Amino acid sequence: DIVMTQSPDSLAVSLGERATINCKSSQSVLYNSNNKNYLAWYQQKPGQPPKLLIYWASTRESGVPDRFSGSGSGTDFTLTISSLQAEDVAVYYCQQYYTTPYTFGQGTKLEIK
Amino acid sequence: QVQLQESGPGLVKSSETMSLTCTVSGGSISTYYWSWIRQPPGKGLEWIGYIYSGSTNYNPSLKSRVTMSVDTSKKQFSLKVSSVTAADTAVYYCARTLGELYGYFELWGRGTLVTVSS
């Protein structure tokens, strides 16, 4: 299985500041044939299902604010929130879909400082 | 708009088989891959497997205990997990992907909590 490791486990950021969450995969999730990274990011608020934010490592899902962005390639990826809003408090997960079993990172809890 | 709704018993006895159903409303069930994902209380997400047009792909960690099926006439797909233990206590989500190599979950149900009691 591909192991997904996120850092940090928790993060406190001031409103309006940048938040950065990292995700590392135990093997590359880049398909050379199409140059796509099979990596997604989700946001989960308490009592709610996860919500897809980013797929193909950097493609924003429809309706997701543009303060959310994804970057990286191969084994190292980053989710950036450019200017933290109060409604962004949540747990964030990365997920690889390069191969089954699909696997998720352990989650990063984002709070307001 | 398409919605997913999980249903099934919230309490299951240890060693028994749990059964859940996901109902798809407002859209087609035939052209998508349908997954089950679970989340133990306070913990992370685990993909259980998917079903597509009768074909299945299960997580090896659960494969020996999991069965998925689909009823296209009712627009429902189902999950059975046998020989449950306390470790199977979790919120169970159904979710949709566009294909195996499009395995990001773009639509989720609200989830249903299943508690395994001794």
DSSP conformational letter for A27: S
The mean pLDDT value for A64-69 works out to: 98
Distance CA B30, CA B74 (A): 11
The per-residue pLDDT for range B79-111, each reduced to its tens digit, is: 999 999 999 999 999 999 998 889 999 999 999
Q: How confident is the model at residue B118 (pLDDT cuts 50, 70, 90)?
A: confident
Query: What would the two tokens of residue A14 be?
Result: 């001031």
Q: What's residue A69's pLDDT?
A: 98
B78 beta partners = B21, B69
Whole-number Å distance between alpha carbons of B15 and B29? 32
Q: In the predicted model, what is the mean pLDDT of chain A?
A: 98
Q: What pLDDT does B107 receive?
A: 98
A108, two tokens: 């990063």
Report chain A residues whose CB lies below 8 A from the CB of B44. 93, 104-107
> Measured over all CA atoms, what is the biggest interatomic distance in chain B, rounded to whole angstroms?
40
Q: Within an 8 Å CB–CB cutoff, is residue A100 touching chain B?
A: yes
Output the pLDDT for position A1. 97
Distance from the A14 Cα atom to the nearest Cα atom in chain B, whole angstroms: 25
Give the one of A40, A100, A104 whose C-beta lies nearest to B44's C-beta: A104
Mean pLDDT, residues A16-36: 97
pLDDT over 90 (residue B18): yes
What is the residue-wise DSSP string for B5-57?
EEES-SEEETTS-EEEEEEEESS-STTSEEEEEEE-TTS--EEEEEEETTEEE
So what's the pLDDT on residue A56? 98
Side-chain-side CA neighbours of residue B57 (13 Å): 15
Mean local confidence (pLDDT), A72-81: 98
Q: For residue A63, what are the CA distances in angstroms to A11, A51, A68, B52? A: 25, 11, 11, 27
| Phi, psi (degrees; rounded to nearest 5) at B63 | -55, -40
Using DSSP, state whether A79 is helix, strand or coil. strand
What pLDDT digit, counting tens, does each position of B44-91 carry?
999 999 999 889 999 999 999 999 999 999 999 999 999 999 999 999
Contact B45 A49 (CB under 8 A): no
